[in-house]
Structure 1
Amino acid sequence: MSNSNRAGAFLAAVMAAALSLSTAPPAAADGLTVFDWSGYEDPAFFPAYMEKYGSPPDFAFFGDEEEAFQKLRAGFKADVAHPCSQSVAKWRDAGLLEPLDTSRLSHWDDVLPGFKAMKGLMTSDDGTAWLIPFEWGNTVLTYRTDTVKPEEVASLKAFADPKFKDRVSIGDNVDDAYALAALAIGLKDWSKMTDEQFQAASDFLREVHQNVRLYWTDNTEVSQAMAAGEIDLAWAWNETAATLQSESVPVDIRRDTVEGLSTWVCGYVRLKGGTGSADQAYDYLNALTDPAIAPYMVETWGYGHANAKGMASVDPAILKQKGYGDVEAFMADTLFQSPLPNALRQKMIAEFEKIKSGY
């Protein structure tokens, strides 16, 4: 090939590449990394992002928020993360978070009013925004209906009943564990737990430990154990029952235990030091919080979506079936996993490790 032909071929290739870049969707390979719970990589949670960029962001996963916190403190880099209400202040105070620019959050004003009112959740005292809520739900008593009678699980104290020895599973998650224990000893506001109440809650978890077959780390693990008949009783997220019921496994949940419910709200933050595109980060947050996501969230995962317009669009019959028909009543009899004083949470973390080790 002559030099002139080579030059012409090279110019044509360059022009073709430029044309391809101008018409193809932007690639998520710019490095946007989402640090999340396993399962939330589901593209049905962010279809608008997929439509714009053509592929999902990169994902890294954590088993609980303390693991995530320690990993970030040790230098792990990501752009967006998914903590829950009780961790936001701790992450912020540790210097891990980048403030949110609410002018770039399309659905910021549509967040459920109850979440906006939660002190320290979305904003700090000076009005700086740190988290946009995404989903909310329960950690709830979940049981096999073919081996357990409803009257046997009318109280959360069933988790410590010797009849369920080696047939119980609770999460390897300090927040869910102490939410269970706080409810079991009669507390609805765990942020004011006294030393005596902390001891009583820890003693209850030691009783539960005698029955535990499995401390689960994600929904897949506990769902598989229940489906296989290895456990009869679990302290699990709404997602577990929704998953198993869709597979015709005989499972139900008790929202009406005498002690009430444990309710949590989680959302997304921007992490300091991330190297991904800020534009992509905000596009991702806006895709997640789009009201169109709410029906999928409620029907498939069994969780509530944080967007008020989205929740209003869900079929009322489905909302009632999933337990969200009367949100005010739902909130009234619940322990909200609200932010904890750091000293108390550190005590819980240390004590829970002892309990799981049999001490």
Structure 2
Amino acid sequence: MPEVLDPFAESTGIEVNTAAFADEDETEAKLRAGFRTDVVEMCSGEAGSLIEAGLVQPIDTSRIDKWDAIFDSFKQGEDVVDENGDVWIVPLQGGSFGIVYLKDETGPITSYDQLFFGDVDGDIAVSEEPISTIWDIAMALGYGPEIHKITDEQAIEAVDALIQMDHIRTTWSGDGDLIQLLATGEIVAASHATPDIAEALVEEGINAVYVAPEEGQILWKCGLGIAADAENLDAAYALINHYVDARMQLIFAEEYGYMASNSEILDIADQELIDAIGLDDPGSIDLVTIPEGLPDNEELWDEEWQRFAG
């Protein structure tokens, strides 16, 4: 984004060259093949393979000016801060996954237990991502809530329960798909949805609500790490500090509706924006905020999903 990178170049004289990759798998493949970079964008729950492969290096948090201002909930997750205290990602933006429902079509929905096993007036949709939906149902069954606490047996039980549900109309595959399903009334609620889905529907005059489930809402977060063979270390830390600055994070909050990791954004953001996207939520609901991640046995989860989807 020019509005973020241009001020950095002007204030430091450092030119930033960027390269875009489709996902973490492509990033890992490029780095393994010898692609040289200083800074790597990574997301919690997906960065483990980069860390295990030695493609990134631990962050020296003494060089991150606003490290202490970052919400504690953004520092959760082993690929952000591991059990040894090593920091791998400086988190910048995030968002939450929960429930979106049509307030005029069904009564209040407050939990995954209610959505999947309770009284909902109409059909629902679940995410087509196996891990997302199995995780949501496992939480409804009382397991987890952290994904690494869900055993193979509990994941299988969650899929068994999924197969038995008769009010699941379909799976949804993207924001546009889900918005269409809700806007047409084909479904009245959906799991693993984000607040911006409800916001988009409200803009169309539809009374949609996002709610953080009682079992906990999953927090995704992305940020910046440093490549293991970074040649411009001082410049890398300078760029990361620039992105952590609350003024830069405000740009992403206003443009994309992202939560910000730097708590100092609360001092400069309009209250309307804070309320609309829950900028203060990570700091105020840590007890029900769960870091996004991957299961220990991802292959089994994918195989179990085929019993439902296949």
Q: TM-score scaled to structure 2, two decimals?
A: 0.73
Residue 152 of structure 2 aligns with which residue?
A: 195
Residue 85 of structure 1 aligns with which residue?
A: 44
- Report whether the alignment pairs 1:137 with 2:92: no
Q: Aligned partners of 2:82 and 2:164: how far apart in 1?
A: 38
Residue 245 of structure 2 aligns with which residue?
A: 290
Q: Aligned partners of 2:177 and 2:4: how far apart in 1?
A: 22
Q: What is the DSSP-based 3-state SS (H/G/I as helix, E as strand, rest coil) of the residue aligned with 2:42?
A: coil
Shift of 1:123: 3.6
Alpha-carbon spacing, 1:73–1:281, altered in 2? closer, same or farther (3 Å): closer
Check whether the contact 1:100–1:269 (CA below 8 A) recurs between aligned residues: yes
Q: TM-score scaled to structure 1, two decimals?
A: 0.65
Residue 301 of structure 1 aligns with which residue?
A: 256
Q: Aligned partners of 1:44 and 1:356: how far apart in 2?
A: 45
Q: 1:141-180 maps to which residues of 2 (within 5 A)?
A: 141-145=99-103, 148-151=105-108, 153-156=109-112, 157-158=114-115, 168-170=125-127, 172=129, 174=131, 176-180=132-136
Alpha-carbon spacing, 1:70–1:99, altered in 2? closer, same or farther (3 Å): closer
Spell out, residue by residue over 1:288-311, the C-alpha distance to the aligned partner (whole angstroms, 9 max, x if none).
221113434445534321112223
Residue 18 of structure 1 aligns with which residue?
A: none
Spell out, residue by residue over 1:134-180, the C-alpha distance to the aligned partner (whole angstroms, 9 max, x if none).
1232112123456x3243x4443535789755x62525363x33432
- Report whether the alignment pairs 1:212 with 2:170: yes
Check whether the contact 1:121–1:131 (CA below 8 A) recurs between aligned residues: yes
Q: Aligned partners of 1:107 and 1:149: how far apart in 2?
A: 44
Q: Which has the higher contact order (CA 8 A, sep 6+)?
A: 2
Q: What is the DSSP-based 3-state SS (H/G/I as helix, E as strand, rest coil) of the residue aligned with 1:262?
A: strand
Shift of 1:133: 0.7
Residue 262 of structure 1 aligns with which residue?
A: 218
Q: 1:2-41 maps to which residues of 2 (within 5 A)?
A: none
Shift of 1:45: 5.5
Check whether the contact 2:194–2:210 (CA below 8 A) recurs between aligned residues: no
Q: Where does the alignment leave 5 or more consecutive residues of structure 1 unmatched? A: 1-41
Q: What is the DSSP-based 3-state SS (H/G/I as helix, E as strand, rest coil) of the residue aligned with 2:46?
A: helix
Spell out, residue by residue over 1:8-27, the C-alpha distance to the aligned partner (whole angstroms, 9 max, x if none).
xxxxxxxxxxxxxxxxxxxx
Q: 1:47-66 maps to which residues of 2 (within 5 A)?
A: 48-49=7-8, 57-62=18-23
Check whether the contact 1:298–1:319 (CA below 8 A) recurs between aligned residues: no
Shift of 1:212: 1.9
Check whether the contact 1:135–1:304 (CA below 8 A) recurs between aligned residues: yes
Q: Where does the alignment leave 5 or more consecutive residues of structure 2 unmatched? A: none
- Report whether the alignment pairs 1:237 with 2:190: no
Shift of 1:95: 2.7
Identity, in percent, stands at 23
Check whether the contact 1:135–1:306 (CA below 8 A) recurs between aligned residues: yes
State the one-letter code of the partner of 1:197: Q
Q: Aligned partners of 1:150 and 1:224: how far apart in 2?
A: 21
- Report whether the alignment pairs 1:120 with 2:73: no
Residue 301 of structure 2 aligns with which residue?
A: 348
Number of residue equivalences? 302
Alpha-carbon spacing, 1:254–1:239, altered in 2? closer, same or farther (3 Å): closer
Q: Aligned partners of 2:181 and 2:8: how far apart in 1?
A: 34
